[in-house]
Amino acid sequence: MAWPWLLPLGLFFAASVAQAAVVEHTFNVGNLSISQLCEQAMIITAVNGRLPGPTIKVREGDTVVVHLVNESPHNMTIHWHGVFQRGSPWADGPSMVTQCPVMPGCNYTYRFNVTGQEGTLWWHAHISFLRATVYGALVIRPRGGAASYPFSPKPHREEVLLLGEWWNANVYDLERTAFLSGNITGPANAYTINGKPGDPYSNCSAADQTYKFHVRRNEKYLLRIINAALNTPMFLRVANHRFTVVAADAAYTTPYETDVVVVAPGQTVDALMAAAGAAPGRYYMVATPYDSAVGGTPPFNPATARAVVEYAGAAGDETPQLPPPTQNNDTATAFRFLSNLTALVLPGKPTVPLSVDTRMFVTVGLGNGDCQPKQTLCNTTDGTRPRIFSSSMNNASFLLPDAGSPSMLQAHYDGNASGVYTRDFPDRPPVIFDYTADASDTDELKYTTKSTKGFGNYDEAAAAPGFRTGPR
């Protein structure tokens, strides 16, 4: 018996499959000699000899394959920040959580599918402070390409803007010293746009340290803004230009017009910028760090990073115009921007589920704990163990599994979590207080202990081993 509807249905699925592709990259992680801030050249860890690293461009539904070759002196993993990792948890990247680190001289292959997400995400090292220099963009376009964007006008061009932090020191050593001493790491020496701090540093170095974004009048640009900083939220402005925010964290938003973009560490914002109304010239793009802490702690660097938006036909020696200054503690502007971001509901796209299986109330805070024997710089000669800072969630401070043990995901897959982690993460904080106040109503930090805790039940189908090479 013939089934006439099978032919068009089969063609539909064939076309859908044909649209998907395998996007393959090789990440050679190694040493890079670089000079910033008028200092002598120093050695950092980078991917393919670049800061930032390469941009991965895919379409929704594609499969990403990245071969990590670790030629650095450090253990290494790569995290794909924001990717759902449906059916590929082994590719997620957090060291000792979903995989053991890739040792120097070894390699590992990440393989995952990008489904149900469109917009901008990013990748970074997920071990120590190495993500300060090991990072790059992940651009996910619709299956139908730029013509399928659910906003207008369609951009003439797209530009990735990675905001970062720069230390005049080896970031691995910085993190190690902070751990051994139990202290907070000092603030970055500078902030960067696409790896460059901009003015006033460009005049004291043979290398150009200001990023330039070349534009033409009457064109629209889609800025893919990523905050790759370790600790610092950022304001972003361009003199005499406005933005229309159309997406955040690889999810479309209701278009929102603004003259400033606010983006927290790890987050992304996609915004249209029109070049139609501005006269040919040069305009500063300024990234300003946002400090929401009360009382001046922890230490904070108020400096800005600058790039130049340069129009075709503008004089190269013309002094760029500056946007209005942004105060470092401008909480009102940050609140206004973030509270105006709302999801764009599209036909056929899933919305927020109304039924919830598990409810959790999680607070992120700072407590104190005992200096551990391995923290040699905070131990005293008389054998006492002083209290040190300890970050926590619901007063549970996370401790990575020992280097000799399997990762948490491997332990789960093997059915033997004993000695690796427990499943008793608290679902609410131990102390109730005004969580929205500028400051806590107590000056005392709560004592917290180190532990390796998880929660919930893993989907067994999602915990299947992935494709990997080299050491576990």
How do the domains of the chain map onto residue ranges?
Answer: 16-144, 149-344, 359-433+443-455
Neighbours of 63 (CB within 10 A): 16
Is the per-residue pLDDT at 229 higher than 80?
yes
Residue whose C-alpha is closest to residue 45's, from 79, 81, 91, 76: 76
Quick one: pLDDT at residue 205?
52
Distant-in-sequence contacts of 370-373, Cβ < 8 A, 24+ apart: 371/182, 372/450
Residue type, 79: H
- What span, in angstroms and rounded, lies between the C-alpha atoms of 34 and 44? 7
| 148 has pLDDT over 60 | yes
- The fold adopted by the segment(s) 16-144 is Immunoglobulin-like (2.60.40)
Q: Which amino acid is at 352?
A: V
Confidence of residue 11 (pLDDT cuts 50, 70, 90): very low
The H or E element containing residue 76 is none
Identify the CA nearest to 433 among candidates 443, 423, 425: 443
Long-range interactions of 208-211: CB distance < 8 A, separation 24+? 209/36, 209/37, 210/306, 210/307, 210/308, 211/307, 211/308
* pLDDT tens-digit map of 339-367: 999 999 877 776 677 788 888 999 888 88
* E strand residue ranges, 15-118: 22-34, 42-47, 56-59, 63-70, 78-81, 107-113
The pLDDT value given to residue 17: 45
Query: Is the model's pLDDT at 300 over the cut of 90?
Result: no
Tokens standing for residue 164: 């970062």
Helix (H, G, I), strand (E, B) or coil at 416: coil
Decide whether 16-144 matches 149-344 in CATH topology.
Answer: yes
What is the CATH number assigned to the segment(s) 149-344?
A: 2.60.40.420
Give the pLDDT score at 1: 42
pLDDT greater than 50 at residue 381: yes
pLDDT band at 447 (very low <50, low <70, confident <90, very high): confident
Q: Model confidence at 440, in pLDDT bands (50, 70, 90)?
A: low
What does the pLDDT read at residue 454? 86
Q: What is the DSSP letter of 313?
A: T
pLDDT in tens, 392-416: 999 999 999 987 899 999 999 998 9
Q: So what's the pLDDT on residue 457?
A: 62
| 8 A C-beta contact, residue 235 and residue 330 | yes
pLDDT digits (tens, 9 = 90+) for 149-159: 999 999 999 99
Which two three-digit tokens encode residue 344?
């764009």
Tokens of 146: 């730029």
> Which pLDDT does position 296 carry in this prediction?
58
The end-to-end CA distance of the chain, in Å, is: 53
Amino acid identity at 140 = I
Residue entry with tokens 């803004």:
225
Q: What is the pLDDT of residues 59-75, one digit of tens each?
A: 999 999 999 999 999 99
